[in-house]
Chain A
Amino acid sequence: MNSDKITKIVLFSVSFIILFIAGGMVFSLVGGAIPSFKTFGLGFITSSQWDPTEGKESYGALPFIAGTLITSFAALIISFPLSFATSLFLGEYYRNTRVAKVLGTMVDLLAGIPSIVYGLWGFYVLRPFLIDIGFENQGFGVFTSSLVLAIMIIPYATSLSNEIISMVPNDLKEAAYSLGSTRYEVIMHVTVPAARSGIFAGYILSFGRALGETMAVTMLIGNANIIPDSLFSTGNTMASVIANQFGEADGLKLSALISIGLLLFVITGIVNGIGKLIIKKMN
């Protein structure tokens, strides 16, 4: 006996590390955020001030929360038609063909490009392009960053939707065809409704991904601590302010940044949790 018992104990203890890390994270984030919340109270979430001058430090997270939510929503909206079309291409029209395999690999590669490379491309290629076609003035802001963000999150929604769509049972579709429907009608009235929750979950997960994106957004959003008032306004996000201002942050400022990290953690946790819950319900 015993080597079996020992094995079970070892397996259990090692996997406990995961719980320990998660718990530790919450503990550290909350602990680090306390000074800031003690000083500013819940007003931290609604304040738009960001003044690191010693003596009258005042920090507020509202512009960043707004920036994060706005860019992520915009990215979601922009990515939706592209991702939906691609998942239909891969999961319905050209399923199991070589073309789909190639395209699928390319979509996977989209997910593999590091964030900083997207940022560089956005800065050196996309931004001048948008300026050239007169779409933008100086190219920094919510729109440009949302556009790049949209490209980055497409693979997540696409792969999940693609899988769900290809799992729609054939006999459902055949029933519709036998009634004389066109392919478009079968897709719209049978396939998509059947795959509805999976597709929805995919978008929630890609939204969650967008919320936490740092580098590409930092390089394109303009880093202005204001609440964006238009699609082409500059702004800032929670992730990028942490990255940018971390430098020699100390004391209250560090606590403020950690509080923002905590907020980001909570928001992404909730969004991802909802997405995973929907997927679980489907199974």
Chain B
Amino acid sequence: MSLWSRISYSLRSERLNREIEEELQSHIAEAIASGRDPEEARRTFGSILRQREAGHSIRVAGWLESLLADVRFGWRQLCRNKVTTAAAVLSLALGIGSCVAAFRLIDALLWRPLPIANASKLYVLTRKLTGLEGKPIEDGYWSTPDFNLMRNAAKDQADLIAISDADRTDITWATGGSSDDDIEKVHVASVSGNMFPLFGLEPSLGRLLSPADDRALGMSPYAVLSWDYWNHRFGRDPHILGRSVHIDDQTFEIIGVGPRDFTGTEKGTVTDIFLPLGMNRIATQEGATWHHIFLMLKPGVNPGTALEPLRQHLSAVSHTFESQCSACFRGVPQATIDRLLDKKLVVTPAGAGVSDLQKEYRRLLGVLGLLVVLVLLIACVNVANMMTAQAAARAHEMALRISIGAGRRRLVQLILCQSALLALFASVLGALFAAWSAPFVLNLVSPPDNPARLDLPADWRVLLFGFALILLVVLLLGLLPALRASAVRPVAALKGGKDPHSSRRLMRGAIALQVAFCCLVLFLSSLFVASFQRLQNRPLGFSTDRLLLLQTVAGKGQLPVVWNQTTEALRAVPGVSSVGLAGWPLLGRIQINSEISINNAPPSPTPAFFLNVSPSWRSTMKIPLIAGRDFSPQDTSPGAAIVNETFAKTFFPGQDPIGRTFERGAGQPPNKIIGVTPDISYHDLREPTRAVFYVPFNQINDKGMPTAAGFATFVIHTESQNPLTLAETLRQFIAQRHSGLRVSNVTTELDLFRDQTVRERLLATLAAFFAAVALLLAGIGLYAVLNYSVLQRRREIGIRMAIGSTRAGIVRLVTFDVFLTIAFGGVAGVALGFGAARYAATLFYQVKATDADMIALPACAILLTALVASLPAVLRALRTDPTEILRAE
């Protein structure tokens, strides 16, 4: 209570003074009233002012009062230079806001532990091996029989948990009458029954899956909903228990709802439905690797000593399983088998979950973090420079304050107050910026038909980071100018003869730092922008213009004739200019490779990729034919094939491929090459050109009978500019035309193409934005320093001019060492850039850090900025009037 009253008195210091004075006056009045002589009473009382001061100092918190005075003074200082203050606050806000936003994204995706018990004891098992194209890859998928063996082998020290990816799946809720509209897409994951208990999760409703649900195929048709799905789809309806849901051709009964926070182990994807692992048919196949394996150490097991022996043990078990697995490598050459078996089992901490989003964006977020930290540093250096200039301008005032007895501590406090005020305003603005920008960036990276969902809470982790950041900013901003200002030697400063170079030296160091950071940001962003442009302008080999893609499924499969008739019917719909049919879209998420053997020789180690297409597909995609002919409706697969140039060069080097045959694996029926097309981007824009062959959509079996296809994609070239306007009409048209066909996903070829460049686009956009900000800040900083130095050296310039220095001499005097500093900073920046570029190399596309234009671009930008920024200062120096200066001094 006492401290509180002292603080509250400090805040109302004037009122306190009045009160004390009134009390003292009433004392004197009492004295007079009781018969004392007025003069004598006043005299014995002494100086009212002194008494008041003595009383005042007891009743207030002195430190607080001086702090308040400093804050008030700092506020007045900031108000006096409104433009500078606004610029400082804005640049700091941008820096702080970007840093917090980047932290939110990085923390949410990569660092934040899953909301489960013992997240720190959770690991994931992967394997490092050499991939099909000879590059090292990391394989995170395992087969269930292998998992069961490993689970038994590890059971003394750890529990193994199988969790599949949460795949987007078509489901229908049993409602009685089922219509097409009942189908919805949700994320379904298969998990082993021990997941919920080991993660320490409690049901919100009903029960969760348990180890007892890991029974043989078809024995546990139970499903658990995630709280999130239950909430937004069913409004937390408790009657959900016992309802049935159809997934593929199976029916599951809802037995419970998971805990509120748990959305699966795949960061960026919210799992809607959990199914028992054993209910998936793939679980019985030895050769099908389809789920992740997590490892949870048992209580009391020391990860430091137990993990490595456990890893070796599991590796041996898995290796034995795979080398004995007959189904795994059917028809694969021994050399390839040996290569695929030569793998290393890796155990990685997975407390923050495992997802493709993490893998894909880890580096990008790292680079983004670096960029925002650099921008914040540049902004800090800028503001610190501004404050140094102000402090230097106040050298007289500081000297005076020290001479009349101000403590140096108090002076430091004065300046720190000012920087804290700046940081405070900046952080309020920055918090708003971060609140908006983190979800905004997350939105940018998600494809519209399958948005990334990531919880971005603003909890104590973010707050703590924010506070640490603000503290750092205050120290960066204030400490240097504060120490400098308080080191003022009053005698020298008041005489006006103090060393005029000291503060400039400091500011020049700051400029070098700023230019180095700016150069680094520019260098990286030019690399990212160039990567994006090259990727964006890469020739695809086909047109993405006005192409609607209707990904269609056919339950138990439909014969090619049904698909072909539907294709014909679609062609007649108004607004459709041409229609093709393909197994799946180009640049979609599907790629399937096939072995190639020539004349029934053993398959070559190089795989080729294929696509089954209808005769009109090639012309709809605007892929030209180099040689031969297109498919006709009579062509079948196996039978005829069209290949791309790389295929021809790989398998028939130096020969005319037309008329030659190849088999898809030893002992398979031959395919005769009837045409050759140019190379196209098949699956991924970044991939090297691949050998691709096309086979007719009409597939026949050994006996020459047509076989049914379960899915295909209608590729529709529309007359209208926006193909999506036709989507709903065509979707209904297909459903009415044939009840066995159902459109499960609608997209456009252009969207698929854009999805491929999302990461590069994001990085290029953000990097360009931060580069512009960095350049602007560096320009402002340079301008301020030069301007200040000219102001300070007015006397020197005047004297030089008076004794006959040329204009060129003056310009050199003013700019020479600053440009030297810039050159120094620039070189340092590029050197740092090379280091950073090595880290970010995987994000580049066809650019190298050593490309001359990648270095020239930032260098030119910096130079240009420096020229523009130094112009006003140079003009001011040249306009110095020697007579006026000399008279004034």
B partners with A: no
Which positions in A face B, CB cutoff 8 Å?
none
